[in-house]
Amino acid sequence: MSDEPPTGTVSAWAPPPYADPHLFTEHDVTVGTGPLAVPGTVSVPKDRGPGPGVVLLSGGGHFDRDETSGPNKPLKDLAWGLAGLGIAVLRFDKATFAHSGFAASPDLTMSREYVPYAVDAVGLLGRRPEVDAGRVFVLGHSMGGKVAPLVATAEPSVAGLVVMAGDAQPMHHAAVRVASHLSSVLPDQVPASLVETFAGQAALVDGPGLTSATPASELPFGLPASYWLELRDYDPVATAAALGKPMLILQGGRDYQVTVADDLARWRTGLAGRPGVDFRVFEADDHLFFPGAGPSTPADYALPHHVDPAVVTGVADWLHRTRPTAVGR
């Protein structure tokens, strides 16, 4: 289902304890060209020679550069934490957030939504003097993780990928699974009729009746037929396997949206035995990599949290030690 949080009162974000803004500087950048360019931010470590850089991609939905979710900003947590540990970071508003007309485009696809902007961001970051142009990585969360292999296919200079809770189960099938789960734990909020609606929409996506003329109102999340025609033919794991690049695949054990059983299992199977591919499960973390206890629910996203510090240090360590040498195909 969509990564966007429930609406409600939003508290002010506060920096996580592990982020020291004295260790880096931030600068505004423009990602993309023309009327659909978007604003972004680059966080640059102070007093460092050319080192690794990483472009952050947020999940599905109309997200800003921080992936703001209620009072939380998980990509800002990551950017500030990584920059303090010597990693240059570029994050940017999605075009669907910055341009309402783009979001309403009848021919919108995941590729159009992400790939040109991510490719431009990789080039921008690689041209900075503080960054080793041969060590620019892409880190994607949720749908950003799903699309990351496609970005690396389009831009061969990408040194490697970090996939955080990247969904590998087809999204229209996952929507039925997630709705069923929420209906069982929150029956007053998610009626069984919603599950039936998603199931019917998923069947339409899978069937021969889906064409470019199918109304968006009949499809999951109101996304246009063009979006689903591309998605149903896209296999992120097979695309990643064809790259031969280093990859770090991260998963939260408490995540009900992208799960160990339904998604990580696909990544493990498709990338089994490949050198340079690491898998890590953070058992206490939810979909946004916020640590906690007990079953995760959408209400958790409305409470102030920060990305697990072990995730931040784990990603930073991997980026520092990983070199862009091809791994076995």
SS (H, E, C) 69-122: ECCECHHHHHHHHHHHCCCEEEEECCHHHHCHHHHCCCCCCHHHHHHHHHHHHH
Cα separation, 98 vs 58, in Å, equals: 14
Domain extents in the chain: 21-169+235-321, 171-231
Mark whether 296 is an active-site residue: no
Which residue in the list 142, 183, 226, 296 is annotated as catalytic? 142
Which residue in the list 172, 181, 287, 305 is annotated as catalytic? 287
Nearest residue to 89 (alpha-carbon basis) of 274, 241, 312, 310: 312
Q: How confident is the model at residue 327 (pLDDT cuts 50, 70, 90)?
A: very low
Cα separation, 193 vs 22, in Å, equals: 52
| Average pLDDT score over the chain | 94
Contact, 232 vs 203, CB < 8 A?
no
Q: How far is CA 174 from CA 37, 170, 198, 211, 246, in A?
A: 31, 6, 10, 21, 27
Q: How confident is the model at residue 11 (pLDDT cuts 50, 70, 90)?
A: low
Token code pair at residue 204: 């339409």
What CATH superfamily is the domain 21-169+235-321? Alpha/Beta hydrolase fold, catalytic domain (3.40.50.1820)
Predicted local distance difference test score (pLDDT) of residue 324: 75
pTM of the model: 0.94
What would the pLDDT profile of 263-302 be if each residue is shown by its tens digit? 999 999 999 989 999 999 999 999 999 999 998 989 899 9
Which residue in the list 66, 93, 255, 286 is annotated as catalytic? 255
Q: What would the mean pLDDT of 135-164 be, rounded to a whole number?
A: 98
What would the pLDDT profile of 234-245 be if each residue is shown by its tens digit? 999 999 999 999
Cα separation, 145 vs 163, in Å, equals: 5
**Would you give the DSSP letter of residue 214?**
S
> Which strands, in side-by-side order, build the sheet including 88-92?
24-31, 38-45, 88-92, 51-57, 131-141, 161-164, 247-252, 277-282
**Would you give the DSSP letter of residue 17?**
T
Predicted local distance difference test score (pLDDT) of residue 10: 52
Q: What would the mean pLDDT of 66-74 be, rounded to a whole number?
A: 96
Mark whether 255 is an active-site residue: yes
